[in-house]
C-alpha cells in the first residue's frame, strides 16, 4: 500500500461546518442554547427572525456546540434570549481573552478516561482531511467505539487519510513497558488486538499503519485541526494519564508542534504490512 501524505502543509485547510453529528452515534448539541430558547418559548423561526439569519442557521447552532457564530449574531441572540453570550458560547469568550498559544487549549482532563466519549465521536465524525492515531497500543479506541473499523472504512472511501502509528509488540521497548505496568492485559496483547482490527483494513485505499517505539511516553491523536495529546505518567496506563484537547489557531503553536512531532516519527517508522 502506498504511503499516505504528510499532514504538513495541509493544516490551513478550511473545514466544512455544515455537517451534523448523526453519522457516528448520537448527536452532540448546544444544550445551553436549547434551554435558553425553551425558557422564553422561542422557536427556531422566531429566533432566526430576531437575529436576522436563516432558520437553518439556528438549527446548526443548536446541533453543534463547537460552532461559534459571528459576534453580531451572538450579541443579538443573547439579547433576544435574555442571557449572557458566554453562557451560550463559552469558547467565544475564551478565544477572545487568550492571546498566546494557550488559546489553542480547548479542554484539559486530569485523566483521559474523564473525556466524554461524545467528544471523540464528534472529532471522528467531523474529520474530513486526516485522522492520525499515534497511541502506542490504540487499544482503547475500539472499546469506546465498537464500530470504529466500519467508520474508518467509510472515511477512507470518502478521501480521508487514516494513519495508525503503533508500538512494535515484539520490541525491547514494549517488553520494558510491560515490566513497568505489570498488568495482565499486557502492552503486546493490546497492540496485537489493534493489529487484528486493522488487518481488515489493510487493503483499503487511504489507510496506512506503521510501527514506531519512539512514542512510548506520549500519545497524539489528530483529527484535521484538533489534537488529543496524552503524556503518559510513570507506570500508569493511558486512561489514567492527563489529556489535552487542542485546536489549531496559529502557525507554530501547540497543535503544529505536536503534529510535526508525529510527522517526524511517521517518516522514520516501519510499515506494519509487508510490501506497503
Per the domain annotation, does 15 fall within a domain?
A: no
Domain stop point among 97, 132, 152: 97
Q: Residue 225: is its pLDDT beyond 70?
A: yes
Residue length of the chain: 276
- pLDDT reported for residue 11: 42
25 pLDDT band, cuts 50/70/90, is very low
The pLDDT tens digits of the residues spanning 145-155 come to 999 999 999 99
Query: Does residue 40 share a domain with residue 128?
Result: no
Query: Does residue 108 share a domain with residue 90?
Result: no
Domain stop point among 97, 125, 152: 97
- pLDDT reported for residue 235: 67
Cell numbers linked to 17: 461546518
Q: What is the CATH number of the domain that holds 57?
A: 1.10.260.40
Q: Could you give the angle at the alpha carbon of 264 between the alpha carbons of 262 and 268, nearest 5°?
A: 110
- pLDDT reported for residue 103: 82
- pLDDT reported for residue 18: 34
The partner residues of 162 in beta bridges, in order of sequence, read 131, 207
Query: Does residue 188 share a domain with residue 134?
Result: yes
Q: What is the CATH number of the domain that holds 180?
A: 3.30.870.10
Query: Does residue 179 share a domain with residue 52?
Result: no
Q: Residue 75: is its pLDDT beyond 60?
A: yes
Query: Does residue 82 share a domain with residue 211?
Result: no
The Cα 258–Cα 273 span in angstroms is 26
The Cα 59–Cα 49 span in angstroms is 13
Mean pLDDT score of the chain: 85
98 pLDDT band, cuts 50/70/90, is low
Query: Does residue 243 share a domain with residue 129?
Result: yes
Higher pLDDT, 229 or 17: 229
Query: Does residue 114 share a domain with residue 39?
Result: no
Per the domain annotation, does 81 fall within a domain?
A: yes
Per the domain annotation, does 193 fall within a domain?
A: yes
Query: Does residue 228 share a domain with residue 214?
Result: yes
Per the domain annotation, does 112 fall within a domain?
A: yes
The pLDDT tens digits of the residues spanning 99-144 come to 566 889 988 999 998 988 889 999 999 999 999 999 999 999 999 9
Give the range among 89-93, 193-197, 204-208 with minimum mean pLDDT: 89-93
Per the domain annotation, does 258 fall within a domain?
A: yes
Per the domain annotation, does 13 fall within a domain?
A: no
HSE value, Cβ hemisphere, 13 Å, CA-based, for 263:
14
Domain of 87 in residue numbering reads as 31-97
Domain count, the chain: 2
Query: Does residue 63 share a domain with residue 181?
Result: no
- pLDDT reported for residue 56: 92
Long-range interactions of 8-13: CB distance < 8 A, separation 24+: 8/259, 8/260, 8/263, 10/129, 10/130, 11/225, 11/248, 11/255, 11/256, 11/259, 13/129, 13/224
Q: Specify the DSSP element, H or E, that contains 120.
A: helix 117-126
Query: Does residue 90 share a domain with residue 168?
Result: no
Domain stop point among 77, 97, 117: 97
Query: What's the chain's Rg over C-alpha atoms?
Result: 21
Per the domain annotation, does 41 fall within a domain?
A: yes
Higher pLDDT, 66 or 33: 33
- pLDDT reported for residue 167: 95
Q: Which residues contact 55 (CB under 8 A, 6 or more apart)?
A: 44, 45, 48
Per the domain annotation, does 3 fall within a domain?
A: no
Query: Does residue 264 share a domain with residue 174?
Result: yes
Query: Does residue 93 share a domain with residue 111?
Result: no
The Cα 15–Cα 125 span in angstroms is 12
Question: Quick check: 216 and 73 in contact, CB under 8 A?
Answer: no
Amino acid at each position: 500500500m502506498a504511503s499516505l501524505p504528510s499532514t504538513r502543509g495541509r493544516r490551513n485547510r478550511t473545514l466544512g461546518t455544515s455537517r451534523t453529528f448523526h453519522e457516528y452515534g448520537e448527536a452532540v448539541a448546544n444544550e445551553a442554547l436549547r434551554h435558553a430558547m425553551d425558557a422564553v418559548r422561542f422557536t427556531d423561526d422566531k429566533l432566526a427572525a430576531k437575529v436576522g439569519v436563516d432558520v437553518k442557521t439556528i438549527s446548526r447552532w443548536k446541533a453543534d456546540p463547537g460552532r461559534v457564530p459571528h459576534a453580531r449574531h451572538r450579541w443579538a441572540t443573547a439579547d433576544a434570549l435574555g442571557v449572557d453570550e458566554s453562557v451560550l458560547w463559552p469558547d467565544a469568550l475564551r478565544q477572545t481573552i487568550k492571546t498566546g498559544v494557550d488559546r489553542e487549549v480547548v479542554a484539559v482532563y486530569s485523566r483521559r478516561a474523564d473525556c466524554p466519549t461524545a467528544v471523540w465521536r464528534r472529532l471522528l465524525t467531523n474529520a474530513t482531511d486526516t485522522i492520525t492515531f499515534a497511541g502506542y497500543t490504540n487499544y482503547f479506541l475500539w472499546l469506546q467505539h465498537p464500530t470504529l473499523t466500519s467508520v474508518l472504512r467509510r472515511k477512507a472511501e470518502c478521501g480521508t487519510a487514516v494513519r495508525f502509528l503503533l508500538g512494535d509488540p515484539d520490541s525491547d521497548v514494549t517488553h520494558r513497558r510491560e515490566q513497568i505496568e505489570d498488568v495482565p492485559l499486557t502492552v503486546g496483547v493490546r497492540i496485537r488486538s489493534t493489529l487484528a482490527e486493522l488487518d481488515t483494513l489493510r487493503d483499503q485505499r487511504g489507510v496506512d499503519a506503521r510501527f514506531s517505539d519512539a512514542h512510548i511516553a506520549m500519545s497524539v491523536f489528530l483529527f484535521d485541526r484538533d489534537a488529543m495529546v496524552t503524556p503518559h505518567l510513570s507506570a500508569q496506563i493511558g486512561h489514567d494519564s492527563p489529556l489535552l484537547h487542542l485546536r489549531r489557531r496559529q502557525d507554530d503553536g501547540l497543535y503544529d508542534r505536536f503534529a510535526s512531532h508525529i510527522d517526524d516519527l511517521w517518516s522514520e517508522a516501519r510499515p506494519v504490512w509487508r510490501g506497503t
